[in-house]
Structures are given as structure tokens and as C-alpha cells.
Amino acid sequence: MELFLALAFILVIVATVAIIPSDGHGHTPEERSLQDWSDGVLPSRPFSQLMRW
């Protein structure tokens, strides 16, 4: 039983390490819209960029 658990644990670790490069390392391309938009009270740009100092 312990051998089975150890093999299962090793399989999970190997599968995790193998999937990371094919997943893109968590990087997603940045998509910019041409026009400003809002979703309720959430603007398309951060609030710090919306404020005019």
C-alpha cells in the first residue's frame, strides 16, 4: 500500500512538472481594446490611470 501511494505521489509530481511548459508558464497575452469600456462600476483601465492629476 505504501508503495502504491509513493508511486501515485511521484506520478502526480511528474505530471505537474510535465504540464507546466505546455501550459505556457501562466503567461497570457495582453489584449488591449481600442475603445474604453466599463462593466458596471469597473472601468477598462486601472483607476490610477483614469485620474487626471
Residue 28 sits in which domain range? 1-49
Encode pLDDT of 1-53 as tens digits: 899 999 999 999 999 888 877 666 656 667 776 776 667 777 767 766 666 65
Other CB atoms closer than 10 Å to residue 44's CB: what's the count?
A: 13
How many structural domains comprise the chain? 1
Provide the pLDDT for residue 50: 65
pTM more than 0.75: no
List all residues 6 or more positions away from 43 whose beta carbon is below 8 Å from its beta carbon.
Answer: 36, 37, 50
Residue 18: what pLDDT? 82
pLDDT of residue 30: 72
